[in-house]
Structure 1
């Protein structure tokens, strides 16, 4: 395979998305001898990248700055004559596919990974009216659509998206060397380092504080069973616009000794290893990395029954699913696992078994099968 002067472009709204989820694929292209470019907002340090175009892409489709971003992207795509463009995130993918229309007629292949369509079962009418027509229209400018959950894959097939190929892969991949179970001694060492007691019953959730992640539900569920579990802790890692609101709710319910706001953390693996249950209150997911990380650490999961979550959690298999906006149901499942540690251990072992196909090695192998036909 002659890769001299072959170039690939990765596109996303913000460079943090590339750094968080796609570095293994940048490295893979570099190892194949390709020149790797990225277009995304931000000033982050991206390894394995030859050129980082810091085009200001705005998340809102109504922001006029995206007109300039589209113009910049069109120029750089036509100038660099990419063999492959792989786009991610809603606005990043919209702009990239529009900008690459002329280049596709000259042989450029455009791959789009949908990390969770904004139109889905239970989504608002507005989301369907706004985002579905856009995605259906842009499918004609897409050579390969990659979905990461069953609902999105089936929808794209059923609605006959005008794309040449559609695949479903197992997300972005999990590092099973970093996220793995630990013994009780190590678990307690991590707890001590984080000022947590050996006898604490710890629930963990990592995610941006937002309407979508819905941490308010977690706090309400904890409030219901706070008197039934004497040494319970809810650890919430992350930042975001809804954080202050959640802190206020915690204060009003007098749960300050139970709910801990950890902020941005780089030791998520250790926090999961120190915990007893991984929980999720999300209203919407693509294929949640936080749940995969919990499964890889051998934890039972108590999560909302929404797209993405229910791809990973088998009810009474490796955890429990409960109806969205039902803190009572969530509280019941948490209490059940607190009172039945043998069940919790059994579900955790099943999580560890079920997560294996989602390893980074398996996902890279699947992506190789997608990339290679376009690299000739």
Structure 2
């Protein structure tokens, strides 16, 4: 019998368009339900994108929707305190605050919060400091990368003993496309990221423009992502389009919009890449590894865990020469090298992101191994 049997997940909603955090928390809830735990959900905003998954698993969802922040705080607190739960789990900043606020004044259940942020500005902001103060009421703070845990240890060393890392599980739709290495004699690189300066499409385009004509002939880069980051803001996308045209790179780099078939597109590519300035745990890289692709990425997040010489290449986001050099190396890889590196990526992904590994880590966390404070 499970020591902790009744678990509540607190989430703003169940996604309004397939959000990553909502997908993760729904996945974990379903895995725990399948291991015999009694699982329930509490949501306080509209959004039911993933509701059908919970419904299929017969997981109850309770809604406490209010436009008043204060009423929301009180209603969520009352619900948790009256629910006789053994464990309450939340992801993201506001749900974590509500989870901790419910524990204020004493508790006899375990509080687990999931921190997805590894941005320094989060720790320095007034809001971030207030919400971090409330983490003193959490029994466990789960980060989804070693980089995030290191940030928390740096700014809040008194929380060190309750900081844990559990990587996201990778949920792939069935891949139906066929992979042909170096189609038409060209190396195909795929980037799945929105068009924002943080993701560095401008640096990539400048690096490609510096390559020799011979190397450009061997390369095709497909970028897939949202052009409009906030309503009406397409500045980065517009600049990227302009630079591609200015440098005559229309046959080398293609700036595509988002697609519902990104994993099939990844499977068709030779390499999955990321050139960001900053990342939490990069889902696109994790998915690319799971599909079995060599990786090119900047030194962000847990790059030293995700990538080594067997499965990828690294570069610096703020050095176009570094990006150019890594592109020159990767276009020279032959088909056998690409396949071998892809196999190494797939093996790493099994070790890091498999559902079995992830759910066992969560079960260890909610078990007696870590007592309620």
> Normalising to structure 2: TM-score of the pair?
0.79
Query: Which residue does the alignment assign to 2:10?
Result: 10
Matches within 5 A, 1:166-245: 166-169=163-166, 171-175=167-171, 186-188=178-180, 198-225=184-211, 227=213, 228-230=215-217, 232-239=219-226, 241-242=228-229, 244-245=234-235
Q: What do you get for the CA RMSD once the two structures are aligned?
A: 3.5
Question: Is residue 97–residue 141 contact of structure 1 (8 Å, CA) maintained in 2?
Answer: yes
Query: Which residue does the alignment assign to 2:42?
Result: 38
Question: Is residue 12–residue 39 contact of structure 1 (8 Å, CA) maintained in 2?
Answer: yes
Query: Which residue does the alignment assign to 1:249?
Result: 239
**Offset at residue 302 of structure 1 (A):** 1.4
Assess, with a 3 A threshold, how the Cα gap between structure 1 residues 238 and 132 changes in structure 2: closer, same or farther: same
Separation (CA, whole Å) in 2 of partners of 1:197 and 1:340 = 13
Separation (CA, whole Å) in 1 of partners of 2:95 and 2:160 = 18
Matches within 5 A, 1:325-344: 325-341=318-334, 343-344=337-338
Deviation string, structure 1 residues 17-74 (Cα, Å, up to 9, x no partner): 45422333221333325141132542324222411426479xxxxxxx6445434422
Question: Is residue 10–residue 95 contact of structure 2 (8 Å, CA) maintained in 1?
Answer: no
Assess, with a 3 A threshold, how the Cα gap between structure 1 residues 325 and 83 changes in structure 2: closer, same or farther: same
Assess, with a 3 A threshold, how the Cα gap between structure 1 residues 322 and 353 changes in structure 2: closer, same or farther: same
Question: Is residue 111–residue 146 contact of structure 1 (8 Å, CA) maintained in 2?
Answer: yes
Separation (CA, whole Å) in 1 of partners of 2:25 and 2:157 = 28
What SS does the aligned partner of 2:189 have? strand
2:362 aligned residue (352, 367, 370): 367
Q: Give unpaired runs (5+ residues) of structure 1.
A: 58-64
Separation (CA, whole Å) in 1 of partners of 2:333 and 2:325 = 12
Size of the aligned set, in residue pairs, is 350
Q: Give unpaired runs (5+ residues) of structure 2.
A: none
**Is 1:23 equivalent to 2:20 in the alignment?**
no
Assess, with a 3 A threshold, how the Cα gap between structure 1 residues 40 and 141 changes in structure 2: closer, same or farther: same
Question: Is residue 285–residue 308 contact of structure 1 (8 Å, CA) maintained in 2?
Answer: no
Separation (CA, whole Å) in 2 of partners of 1:246 and 1:24 = 33
Separation (CA, whole Å) in 1 of partners of 2:95 and 2:292 = 35
What SS does the aligned partner of 1:36 have? strand
**Offset at residue 111 of structure 1 (A):** 0.4
**Is 1:101 equivalent to 2:126 in the alignment?**
no
Assess, with a 3 A threshold, how the Cα gap between structure 1 residues 80 and 246 changes in structure 2: closer, same or farther: same
Matches within 5 A, 1:101-140: 101-102=104-105, 105-119=106-120, 127-130=123-126, 133-134=129-130, 136-140=132-136
Query: Which residue does the alignment assign to 2:76?
Result: 73
Question: Is residue 278–residue 300 contact of structure 2 (8 Å, CA) maintained in 1?
Answer: yes
**Is 1:151 equivalent to 2:147 in the alignment?**
yes
**Is 1:165 equivalent to 2:162 in the alignment?**
yes
What SS does the aligned partner of 1:22 have? helix
Question: Is residue 12–residue 87 contact of structure 1 (8 Å, CA) maintained in 2?
Answer: no
**Offset at residue 323 of structure 1 (A):** 1.8
Query: Which residue does the alignment assign to 1:272?
Result: 266
